[in-house]
A and B are shown apart, each in its own frame.
Chain A
Amino acid sequence: DSGVTQTPKHLITATGQRVTLRCSPRSGDLSVYWYQQSLDQGLQFLIQYYNGEERAKGNILERFSAQQFPDLHSELNLSSLELGDSALYFCASSGGQGLYEQYFGPGTRLTVT
């Protein structure tokens, strides 16, 4: 158990819908990262927050947005969902904003039908 929690575990929704994925980092960790893992793309970095502020951005679509709240939990919002958005979404946390190991949550499996 990494100490990072993610909800829900599974999500099935239809194209065009909007969903919110939630992540709680390990106690004391200030950085939260979001990743998308699909079979053909591997682990793709989406976005990082540090203590409530956006710190780094990856290949995150405009239809996706995220935020980190004062209690440090984070939410990833995915809208206008397409079939290609079906993937595993992982949240990870670390103690700092720089070169620290990351601890991954169990992931949310999103299926868009």
Chain B
Amino acid sequence: GQQVMQIPQYQHVQEGEDFTTYCNSSTTLSNIQWYKQRPGGHPVFLIQLVKSGEVKKQKRLTFQFGEAKKNSSLHITATQTTDVGTYFCAGPIYNQGGKLIFGQGTELSVKP
């Protein structure tokens, strides 16, 4: 079945270092969404990418959607302790309403 893989599973960085998580789908996606879940919290929607090759920025966060619409990445520049959490990518299952398949997530820890 359709799968969304995310790497790495864990990333530990020193505050100020950059961080990147990668998301790969086994099938072409109509869009990709990114969510952040703080420890003890719930997933919070960050962004949605729809177009092939799309790049969007939110302050220190840069999101990319691959040309083939099968992969995506989230890059954080100069991490801060507030960036701590698990970042999930999610893609819709074709022709199944709003059903999303989530990657396993990348857990980011930031050492001050």
Contacts and interface: CB of A to CB of B under 8 A. Distances in A.
Contact of B102 (A43, A48, A103): A43
B82 interface: no
A56 B98 contact: yes
B42 A102 contact: no
Contact of A103 (B45, B92, B97, B105): B45
Contact of A102 (B30, B100, B103): B100
A7 B96 CA distance: 27
Contact of A56 (B88, B97, B105): B97
Contacts of A45: 99-102
Interface string A66-102: 0000000000000000000000001010101111111
Contacts of B93: 56
A42 interface: yes
Given A42-B104, A104-B44, A105-B42, A96 B98 contact: yes
Interface in A23-41: 31, 33
Contacts of B88: 43
Binding site of A, secondary structure by majority: helix, strand, loop or mixed?
A: strand
A97 B30 CA distance: 15
B66 interface: no
A101 B97 contact: no
Nearest to B99: A56
B33 A101 contact: yes
Contacts of B105: 42-43
B92 A2 contact: no
Interface string B86-112: 001000110011111111110000000
A56 B41 CA distance: 25
Which of A2, A43, A44, A104 counts the most B-chain CB atoms under 10 A from its CB? Answer: A43
Interface of B: 30-31, 33, 35, 41-45, 48, 88, 92-93, 96-105
Question: Shortest 4 CB-CB distances between A and B: which pairs?
Answer: A56-B99, A55-B97, A56-B97, A104-B42
